[in-house]
Amino acid sequence: MFIERRINPTTKAVELWHCKWENQMGEAPKKIYLGCIGEEKPLFSSDEKVAEKEPAICWSYGRTLGNIAVFSPDLIGKFPATSGNDAVLPCEFVNAGKFRHGAERWWCRTHQTHWGTKGDQAALNQFGDMRCANHQQLMHYVVSPFTINLNELAEVGIWCSMPAALSTDEIKPRAPKIHVHVRNQVGGKKSVDRDFQAISLLYGDHSGLFKNQEITRVNITPPSAFEFVCNLENNLKMSCVSCSNCGYPHLDLGDFGRTPHKKHFCGNCGRDSTWSNGPIISTPLQPLHDQYAGNFEYWTPDRELNLDSYPGSSYTVWASTPAVLWTSKRPQERGIHVHVRRDGERIIDDTFGRVILKGTELKREELIQMMIKRSIS
């Protein structure tokens, strides 16, 4: 048996059909279509199709690639709740050319792996549908994510929120989250100040942010925000290349998200024909960060705190981290954020330039490494 692509005359969708050759004595071999096993997806979902349905973001950890700029309308309705970490999502196959030995292959965009090996074919014969090797991988997801329209808001700040560096209380390791501040007026009160699992950003298509003009939305997932901040902090070269085959902005994650490299493997179409001019880590968050930055400067407040002067109080300490997105004209604050509690009441909640603990000055760089180590990614 083998698989053939076939255009459905009614829906115009590309379908994948199980076929076999039938050999009748004295006749030319005849191709028999045994049954449709699935649809091959276009490389981009059209906007109207997406707008009809509730958007969703899904991601998983321990991957080297990911989708960030678009999402598929076909995934909607398959989530067990409005958010969680246990979704089993259907495979989405796009055509990915051929294996080196010549067999056709497909790329599963949901689980980021190729399909078409002998094992895959055997599973197809057994279960009757195309499933990639990673199809049971549980995914994190958010349905109807909090969405920010960058062109409508005066000031937006987005950070990767991580566990604290030091505390008198237990610090539990956890996955990073997305912390958001929104001000509707410059310097006004914050209308949003909280953590989210993942968020979606909309921007005008006039910005030319990505080669593919159809993309006007970037999803910020915890792994992408986490790697971006670690790389900013470690001064690693980041940029954003678009796939030479499908034009999709490339997101490096995992080892690739931490090591600059030249040859990039596309998470949208499964091809590795994209080369950057020099070794880089590619992330769509870089052009977004640069284009919407209101101010690239940092300032360190000249406030000082000596935690030794608060015996018997409890405290928690974080290093401030560079923002993923900072649209304010003010410089970003860089320092050490401290909460001090006495008798259950928070008596200090501020960012300091110098913090003393047990007679020594805390180093922001060391604190941030502790926070990174406690982040589950």
Residues found near Zn ion in the complex (CB under 5 A): 91, 108, 110-111, 132, 135, 243, 245-246, 248, 252, 256, 264, 266, 268-269, 282, 349
Contact 143, 82 (CB under 8 A): yes
Residues 6+ apart with CB under 8 A from 177: 160, 161, 195, 196, 197, 222
Q: How far is the CB of 289 from Zn ion (least distance, A)?
A: 18
Structure tokens at 348: 């200090």
**Phi, psi for 370 (deg, rounded to 5):** -65, -40
Task: Specify the residue for token string 């649809």.
Answer: 39
Q: Closer to Zn ion at the Cβ: 38 or 359?
A: 38
H/E element, 127: helix 118-127
Min dist. Cβ of residue 110 to Zn ion (A): 5
Q: Which is nearer to Zn ion, 161 or 327 (CB)?
A: 161
Cβ atoms within 10 A of the Cβ of 223, count? 25
Nearer to Zn ion, 83 or 161 (CB): 161
Q: At CB < 8 A and 24+ separation, what contacts does 114-117 make?
A: 114/270, 115/91
Which of 244/293 has CB closer to Zn ion? 244
Query: Shortest gap between Cβ of 281 and Zn ion (angstroms)?
Result: 7
Tokens of 364: 């922001």
Q: What's the min distance (Å) between Cβ of 283 and Zn ion?
A: 9
Q: Which of residues 160 and 269 has its CB atom nearest to Zn ion in the complex? A: 269
Instruction: Report the alpha-carbon distance of residue 263 to residue 371 in Å, rounded.
Output: 31
Find out whether 138 and 86 touch, Cβ atoms under 8 Å: yes
CB 41 within 8 A of CB 11: no
For tokens 């604050």, name the residue.
Answer: 333
Find the shortest distance in angstroms from Cβ 45 to Zn ion.
14
Q: CB-wise, 107 or 196, nearer to Zn ion? A: 107
Q: Would you say 20 or 342 has its CB closer to Zn ion?
A: 342
Q: How far is the CB of 6 from Zn ion (least distance, A)?
A: 21
- The C-alpha atoms of residue 336 and residue 327 are separated, in whole angstroms, by 21
Nearer to Zn ion, 215 or 266 (CB): 266
Cβ–Cβ contacts within 10 Å for residue 326, how many?
23
